[in-house]
Amino acid sequence: MTEENQTQEPAGKSKTAKRVVENCKLPISAIKIPEQWNRKSPGKLDDLVTSLKIHGQIVALTVRPGAKVGEYELVDGRRRILAMQEAGIKEATVTIVESADSTDAYAKSFVANMHRLPHTPVEIAKVFATLSETMNNKSVAKLCGVSEGTVSQHLGFLKLPAYCLSSLEKGELLPTEARELCRLEPEEDADKLRELHDKLVAQDINTFEAAERIVDYLDKKAAKEEGKAAKGKGKKKKSKKGESEKGQGRPVAERDYSEAEIKIDNKTTAREKLDKWSAKLPNTKSESRRQYIKGRLDGMEDLCGLRDD
């Protein structure tokens, strides 16, 4: 251990001292990489492995005390430690940072690495999601050095189905295209979402065309829902009218048949309709319903000129 610095937080902000221990040696086996920080692929390490074998470690890793005594958690230097393991190096030079805020350490590690090796939109989204568990989007944006809109956009990607995220990770689906697909509901609009995803991946349509189709689809969907709502209100209103007129017998039927546009070409057809309604009478138990049918029969006879009196 060559240097030890101890710094105190400004008065009124924190009573917890943060201690930094620089350039000390630790066994690589004692340094753990946090599970949530693991990328599917660290990228090519060949050049880094060769450099370590020739020149040794130049830049220290950054670690923090782990959950167990003698164990440390990596804060910065994942690619370096992986390359060191591959190069057969057993001991690493590290800087130990003691911090009670694991979220802050996570964010610092992400920011330190995000510009060194390209991250996929999905990887970035997952980091933002982890950080947003303990802070709002504005704080996440400030901590990571990005705009609040970038945070919101990436968090939106995570609501897309697995096949969309897979295409986004592979680069088959562009972030701008994924942003348009986020306007659809994964379950409610599942068919349309799949259709547009497949066309975008196959490059049958571009982002602008996808956006136009989504707008058209959502407009039609909204119009359909408004129509259903209006129809529901109409049924409810008609039902209330019927309830208020129950038990009045003939007047209910008179209103019904007079408003119906009954078009009968000849008396034979009229008789058939009358017989159909007449057949319902014997099986009708409700008196109010019986009165309604009788009233309708009388009305049809009047309308068609089939009454004898």
Mark residue 3 as left, alpha or beta (left: phi above 0; alpha: psi -120 to 50; beta: remaining): beta
**The dihedral sign for the CA sequence 235, 239, 245, 251:** positive
Distance CA 292, CA 297 (A): 9
| Residue type (1 letter), 25 | K
**Range of 234-238, 246-250, 260-264, 286-290 with top mean pLDDT:** 286-290
- Residues 41-66, mean pLDDT to the nearest whole number: 86
pLDDT of residue 196: 96
Segment 128-187, tens digit of pLDDT: 888 888 889 998 888 888 899 999 999 999 999 999 999 999 999 999 999 999 999 999
Distance CA 43, CA 4 (A): 34
CA 207 to mean position of chain CA atoms: 19
| DSSP per residue, 97-115 | E--S-HHHHHHHHHHHHHT
pLDDT at 28 exceeding the cut of 90: yes
pLDDT at 204 exceeding the cut of 90: yes
- Residues 3-15, mean pLDDT to the nearest whole number: 37
Backbone φ and ψ of 93, nearest 5°? -85, 130
How many C-beta neighbours within 10 Å does residue 287 have? 10
Structural fold of domain 1-6+17-100 = 3.90.1530
pLDDT of residue 279: 76
Backbone φ and ψ of 32, nearest 5°? -105, 140
What is the β-pairing status of strands 3-7 and 91-97? unpaired
* Token pair of 114 as six digits: 């995000």
| Residue type (1 letter), 148 | E
CATH 3.90.1530.10 domain position(s) in the chain: 1-6+17-100
| DSSP per residue, 212-272 | HHHHHHHHHHHHHHHHHHHHHHHHHHHHHHHHHTTT--HHHHHHHHHHS----SSHHHHHH
* Token pair of 195 as six digits: 């259709």
Percentage of residues in the chain having pLDDT higher than 90: 31
Lookup result for tokens 């944006």: 141
Residue 240: pLDDT band with limits 50, 70, 90? low
DSSP reduced 3-state for 138: helix
